[in-house]
Amino acid sequence: MRCPTCGFETRAEPCVDPGFINTGYPVATDTTSTDPRHPNNGSSLGASGKFNASLELSVVIPCLNEADTIAECVITAMRAMRENRIDGEVVVADNGSTDGSAEIARSAGARVIPVTVRGYGSALMGGIAASCGRFIIMGDADGSYDFSEIPRFLAKLRQGYDLVQGCRLPAGGGTILPGAMPFLHRRFGNPALSLLTKIWFKSAIHDVHCGLRGFTKEHFQQLHQKCTGMEFASEMIVKSSALRGKIAEVPIVLHPDGRKGRPPHLRTFRDGWRHLRLLLLFCPRWLFVIPGIILIALGILGYGVALPGLQLRGVTFDVHTLVFSSLAILCGYQSVFFGIFAQALAMHEGVLPEQAKLKNLLGHLKLEYGLIAGGAGLIVGLFLLLIAVNQWRIVHYGLLNYAHTMRYAVPGSTLTALGFQTIINSFFLSLLELRRS
């Protein structure tokens, strides 16, 4: 095609006109032209030295002030593709480097894509959007990953896997060289967050945060990635698992990074919290539904011992226990509903893939059923409250036997609140379903 900016023949997108490619993140599509006069000529030759609008592989490297290591990363990746006859390119997504990293990468043979929105995830989304390969392999620019491992990842992708994840942790066969990973990350952070991902999302991945990974471009487009920071890596695993993507794992060696003049971009506690927060938000069942069910169960148990006024080993359960039990039931009930809201809204907005079980559940939660159930709760609750008021009337609105009266007042108040919650929650769910349809 002819580039509308410079007028020369290019092999893909316009060369320098910044735009929003796929993900909506502004990137300059620094695409190479076959015309020798083109300003970007030579910056994205494939490893074979030929121009090709449809490459097999794009190696995408996010970069922010990596002048010490970026050249070696690009050269290693290019060499691996050339020696294994892989038709590919190296795309460096520059995120605003001020140390000459972009020029160094371009001189080493990479195609440099400026990405204006800051963040690890932003850089990767911009680089992936501008890449030409059917397969994508991404890796960090700090020298901690060996890009000569590319053929092992590509072999899995060629076998039909949607996502091929590197594994640095010994539990998955990986190797961490001395000084390559901080103690807290190696012993606690990465294993713990990876374990949570396994449990919550049924993922078989041992190392969810490994930055060296490969995937098909088609699969990536189905994920609709949103995260702009370090949690981009976790988001990819979570969404791939939710979509039941075909995932493989490749053990790798993690090397000490080669940076000399800058601190690491990763912040232990800030980025660790972001990863955990992402896992929680992507799993409303564990964040809202299961805690809510536990609260409801504890509340019902409290009612079971408080209504008859049981004494267990010298401990008396009375109306004060009813108050705390009601609090647990009300909070738990709303937490369960909020979890359903969050899951339904996330599915609608494309943040989470659709789940058949939840769709089936939402199909049964009709507004009419909610109104009937909520109305029944209101009627029973108000009836119990009327009994309590009548007891007050009997004593001519004087002092009450609170241990007796509160056994009607507290359950009555709780049922009234639950009935009201059910009605308004049913209307909200109906609004979500109306929006979906």
Residues of the chain with pLDDT > 90, as a percent, come to 55
Mean pLDDT within 172-186:
90
Residue 344 CA to residue 282 CA, distance in Å, equals 12
Residue 319 near residue 407 (C-beta atoms within 8 A): yes
What pLDDT is recorded for position 278? 82
Is pLDDT of 433 > 80?
no
User: What number of CA atoms fall less than 13 Å from residue 311's CA on the CB side?
Assistant: 3
Q: What is the pLDDT of residues 227-241, one digit of tens each?
A: 898 889 999 999 999
* CA dist 405 → 249, 306, 322 (Å): 63, 13, 12
What pLDDT is recorded for position 16? 34
Is pLDDT of 290 > 70?
yes
What pLDDT is recorded for position 31? 41
CA 308 from chain center: how many Å?
47
Neighbours of 58 (CB within 10 A): 24
Q: What does the domain layout of the chain look like in residue ranges?
A: 19-279, 284-436
Report the mean per-residue pLDDT for the chain.
84
Specify which of 14-23, 261-270, 413-422 reaches the highest per-range mean pLDDT: 413-422
**Residue labelled with tokens 């620019």:** 141
Give the angle subtended at the CA of 137 by the CAs of 134 and 138, to the nearest 5°.
Answer: 135
Is pLDDT of 282 > 90?
no
Residue 232 near residue 314 (C-beta atoms within 8 A): no
Of residues 22 and 56, the one with the higher pLDDT is 56
Q: What is the pLDDT of residues 20-43, one digit of tens each?
A: 333 344 444 444 433 332 333 334
Is pLDDT of 85 > 60?
yes
SS (H, E, C) the chain: CECCCCCCEECCCCCCCCEECCCCCEECCCCCECCCCCCCCCCCCCCCCCCCCCEEEEEEEEECCCCCCHHHHHHHHHHHHHHCCCCEEEEEEECCCCCCHHHHHHHHCCEEEEECCCCHHHHHHHHHHHCCEEEEEECCCCCCCCHHHHHHHHHHHHCCCCEEEEECCHHHCCEECCCCCCHHHHHHHHHHHHHHHHHHHCCCCCCCCCCCEEEEHHHHHHHCCCCCCCCHHHHHHHHHHHCCCCEEEEECEECCCCCCCCCCCCCHHHHHHHHHHHHHHCCHHHHHHHHHHHHHHHHHHHHHHHCCCCEECCEECCHHHHHHHHHHHHHHHHHHHHHHHHHHHHHHCCCCCCCHHHHHHHHHCCHHHHHHHHHHHHHHHHHHHHHHHHHHHHCCCCCCCHHHHHHHHHHHHHHHHHHHHHHHHHHHHHHHHHHHC
Which pTM value belongs to this model?
Answer: 0.72
Residue 176 CA to residue 186 CA, distance in Å, equals 9
Q: Which of 20-24, 92-96, 420-424 has the lowest mean pLDDT?
A: 20-24
Neighbours of 98 (CB within 10 A): 9
**Residue type at 288 in one-letter notation:** F
Is pLDDT of 415 > 90?
yes
Is pLDDT of 205 > 50?
yes
Is pLDDT of 136 > 70?
yes
Is pLDDT of 437 > 60?
no
Q: What CATH fold (topology level) applies to the domain 19-279? A: Spore Coat Polysaccharide Biosynthesis Protein SpsA; Chain A (3.90.550)
Mean pLDDT within 5-26:
37
Residue 90 CA to residue 2 CA, distance in Å, equals 23
Mean pLDDT within 116-122:
94
Query: What confidence tier does 344 reach under pLDDT thresholds 50, 70, 90?
Result: confident
Strands 88-94 and 55-63: parallel
Q: What is the pLDDT of residues 347-399, one digit of tens each?
A: 776 666 677 777 777 777 788 888 999 999 999 999 999 999 999 999 889 88
Of 146, 149, 137, which Cα lies nearest the Cα of 61?
137
Q: What is the pLDDT of residues 246-265, one digit of tens each?
A: 999 999 999 998 777 666 66
Query: What confidence tier does 125 reach under pLDDT thresholds 50, 70, 90?
Result: very high
Is pLDDT of 316 > 60?
yes
Is pLDDT of 178 > 80?
yes
Of residues 261 and 54, the one with the higher pLDDT is 54
Of residues 416 and 188, the one with the higher pLDDT is 416
Strands 247-251 and 311-312: unpaired
For residue 60, report the phi and psi dihedrals to the nearest 5 degrees: -105, 125
Query: What confidence tier does 412 reach under pLDDT thresholds 50, 70, 90?
Result: very high
Is pLDDT of 12 > 50?
no
What pLDDT is recorded for position 351? 65
* CA dist 410 → 292, 331, 394, 402, 432 (Å): 20, 15, 19, 11, 33
